[in-house]
């Protein structure tokens, strides 16, 4: 994953850099790169990461060539400080970890502590937006997809309370699906 993300990022950055004045690319046709689950490959403790070096370059220099970046992470405290320092707008959903909350706090004006203190109690679909793209830091409601993606947690007590009869047949479909997956 490290090499793939690094290569794609470098290819996009180099294309935008060398085509910065062309009519069909560069500043004339800006791009936004989205990095999902970024804490897994843009980790501040990983000093030898190909992807982290490429993405940091986009964050430091990409805007002037038409390359923007979006970092999506459940653990902002694990993201590289170089990347965090370049973020212009931060959209934070519910965060319960104090280290993650402090990242949002450090990105917002000092007089907004009461708004930032709401982070652990935000409901599903609520977020706090702070930064350049919004005049006043705000608590907002995000429209939820309908139908909702199946990303809810399992109902632990209910599932553990069910009686499951052991059988060799139970896992054959799972093994088949694993074997038939395509990369």
Q: Which H helix or E strand runs over 68? A: strand 67-71
pLDDT level of residue 165 (50, 70, 90 thresholds): confident
Closest to 25 in 3D by CA, of 10, 14, 33: 14
Does residue 119 lie within any of the structural domains? yes
Instruction: Output the average pLDDT for the chain.
Output: 87
CA distance 14 to 20: 10
pLDDT at 26 over 60: yes
Residue 39 is assigned to a structural domain of this protein: yes
User: Does 129 reside within a domain?
Assistant: yes
What whole-number percentage of the chain has pLDDT above 90? 32
What is the spatial distance between Cα 39 and Cα 72, in angstroms, rounded to a whole number?
A: 8
The total domain count for the chain is: 1
60: domain CATH number is 3.40.50.300
- Cα(24)–Cα(154) distance, rounded to whole angstroms? 47
Residue 179 included in any domain: no
pLDDT band at 111 (very low <50, low <70, confident <90, very high): low
Cα 95 off chain centre by: 13
The tokens of 82 are what?
């170089």
Asked whether the CA dihedral 72, 93, 66, 29 is positive or negative, the reply is positive
- pLDDT tens readout for residues 27-42: 889 999 999 999 989 9
Which one, of 107, 116, 120, lies nearest residue 139 by Cα? Answer: 116
| Confidence (pTM) | 0.73
- Residue 176 domain flag: no
Query: Domain for residue 157, yes or no?
Result: no
106 vs 30, which has greater pLDDT? 30
**Does 44 map to a domain?**
yes
Domain that holds residue 14: 2-146
160 band by pLDDT with thresholds 50, 70 and 90: confident
Mean pLDDT of 15-36: 90
Q: Does residue 183 surpass a pLDDT of 80?
A: no
27 assigned to some structural domain: yes
Confidence class of residue 113 from pLDDT cuts 50, 70 and 90? confident
CA distance 130 to 162: 45
């Amino acid at each position: 994953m490290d090499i793939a993300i690094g290569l794609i990022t470098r290819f996009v950055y180099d294309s935008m850099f060398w085509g910065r004045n062309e009519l069909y690319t560069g500043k004339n046709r800006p791009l936004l790169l989205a990095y999902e689950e970024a804490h897994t490959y843009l980790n501040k403790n990983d000093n030898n990461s190909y992807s982290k070096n490429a993405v940091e370059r986009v964050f430091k220099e990409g805007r002037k060539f038409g390359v923007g970046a979006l970092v999506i992470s459940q653990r902002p405290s694990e993201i590289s400080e170089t990347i965090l320092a370049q973020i212009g707008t931060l959209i934070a959903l519910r965060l319960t970890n104090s280290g993650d909350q402090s990242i949002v706090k450090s990105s917002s004006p000092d007089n907004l502590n009461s708004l930032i203190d709401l982070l652990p109690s935000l409901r599903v679909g609520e977020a706090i937006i702070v930064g350049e793209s919004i005049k006043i830091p705000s608590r907002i409601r995000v429209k939820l997809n309908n139908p909702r993606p199946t990303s809810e947690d399992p109902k632990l007590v209910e599932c553990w309370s069910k009686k499951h009869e052991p059988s060799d047949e139970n896992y054959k479909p799972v093994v088949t699906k694993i074997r038939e997956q395509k990369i």
